[in-house]
Amino acid sequence: MRIFRFMTMVFISLVLLFSISLSLENKHIPSALIKNLQGETIDTQTLNNDGKPFIINFWATWCKPCITELTSIHDVYIDWQDETGVKMIAISIDDSRNSKRVAPFVNGRGWEFEVYLDENSDFKRIMNVTNPPYTFLCDGDGNIVWEHSGYAPGDEHNLIQKVRELIEASEDQETEDSE
């Protein structure tokens, strides 16, 4: 009986996880208010990259895998931008007590990304992010087309490959549309 309950719970969990994943697929970024490092409020629906793909990464100053991931991306970010035009948007989920540390933290590492603060975790919650790091890839229209939880060395290579595939698919679609 316990095994049956356990298997039922596992099945239900997988169905829920799959449905959440499907619900975000090709969905536009929802609206939540976040702040830039100057303290100005921004609506997340305005996040964009002038028609080119962009990455949204949820992270925190206390999260070692987050720091490792963003540092690895920083090391290749200029090359990524030159090749694909992709933009990286880092969303800190540090709470209001720790958010004052974010700007010096980012500046000290020389990260060239756009960085925003989600001090109340409103954006994190509406995006169904459980633990950082959590990464979303958006197409040029702001539709979420891919997501990934966690970080292992080399994940940045998978991420840029997804960006390349997105650009290639977009170019193929444009070619089909013009024919």
Which residue range is the domain that position 102 belongs to?
28-178
Residue 4 lies in a domain: no
Residue 136 lies in a domain: yes
| Residues β-bridged to residue 87 | 54
Query: What would the pLDDT profile of 121-172 be if each residue is shown by its tens digit?
Result: 999 999 999 999 999 999 999 999 999 999 999 999 999 999 999 999 888 7
Residue 10 lies in a domain: no
Residue 16 lies in a domain: no
Residue 116 lies in a domain: yes
Residue 2 lies in a domain: no
CATH code, domain carrying 108:
3.40.30.10
Instruction: Give me the number of domains the chain comprises.
Output: 1
Task: Tell me what pLDDT residue 170 has.
Answer: 81
Residue 121 lies in a domain: yes
Query: What would the pLDDT profile of 77-88 be if each residue is shown by its tens digit?
Result: 999 999 999 999
Residue 123 lies in a domain: yes
Say whether pTM exceeds 0.85: no
